[in-house]
Structure 1
Amino acid sequence: MPLDASRNSLVLPLLGLLVEQPTHAYDLTTRLNERYPHLSATRSTVTSLLKALERADLVTSRVPERVGRRPPRTVYELTETGMADFRRKIEAGLREGLPASTDFVMAVAYAGALPPGDAMSILDTRADRLDQELAALQGFPGGVPEVHMLEVAYWRTILATEIDWIRTLTSRIRTQDIDWPEGTAP
């Protein structure tokens, strides 16, 4: 885990799950692993992150509650500061996440927390930047056989696919072809 817990790749989806509903570390770990199995969340990591996020005033805890014969569990919920940080993390992931990276995918997963105009603007800017990157990748360096540059063709495909997907998504947001959560309207 990074020294700065807020930079852990589990923080954004963890905050996102707390936006959906306040809950305890065991439930968060289960839901993270069900929804995002590639992230490999452990209960000890989730508990440590929740404590660090609480120290940073991004989440707050309730008095531990006992349900039935289960041990008492501490329920966590997002603070106003936590919600603002959550939105900043989404914006940063949409803007700066590398193409096809976990950071970008996690930001996309929670883009609905942003006003639609903000999401479209950030994504349009990203697609324009990726268009420039793609244009710069045309051709192979002189004298280098294609077989030694297969990654260039792969990266072109990744960029072109992501650009197309972003343009389709922003078009769907613009035409209201996608249901955007209430409360995020500009």
Structure 2
Amino acid sequence: MTIKNTLALAVLGLLQEKSMHPYEMTATLRERQKDGNFKINSGSLYDVVQSLVRHGWIEPVETQRAGRRPERTVYAPTELGQGEFVRWIDELIRKPVAEYPKFLAAVSYLGALGPDGAADALTERAGHLRDQIAAHRQLLAETVGSGQLPRLFMIEGEFALHALEAELVWITRTAAEIRDGSLAWPTSSWPA
């Protein structure tokens, strides 16, 4: 039985740390700013939790009530779920799969913008990337650098930071090549 929703991966990952109820899972993912890695909303998270229960990957272990709040069911991974989680992580890390990022699709038709439009669009994207890089650095400094979380719990943030930095290098270089004319621009196929 295979579950492909990466939010399920996040739920199983959180349950490696400790048993949790869905509200705590959502809060923890947002606190760690994992909403850039997973599409998080309460409805989808509850659906994923129910799916994991149906598949036997997690199970309710207790019900908690705090004050006048409604009861909350706390979940933990099952032996099956633990094995599937490890298998899934191993597969995702070992085997690259074709992913179809929107930016890559757009870059394949960069010429449609014309040299000035393409250079301007890339330059604007570079500015946004610089902002994202600064935010990633700050998050890593606040969580890992301060000792709030172990580095391993935020290691994907390091990967994301390096990916953003690599993209920025490529974009900056490509925009410069367009502006200085070293990136040939066919005049017959694309706008001037």
For normalisation by structure 1, the TM-score amounts to 0.49
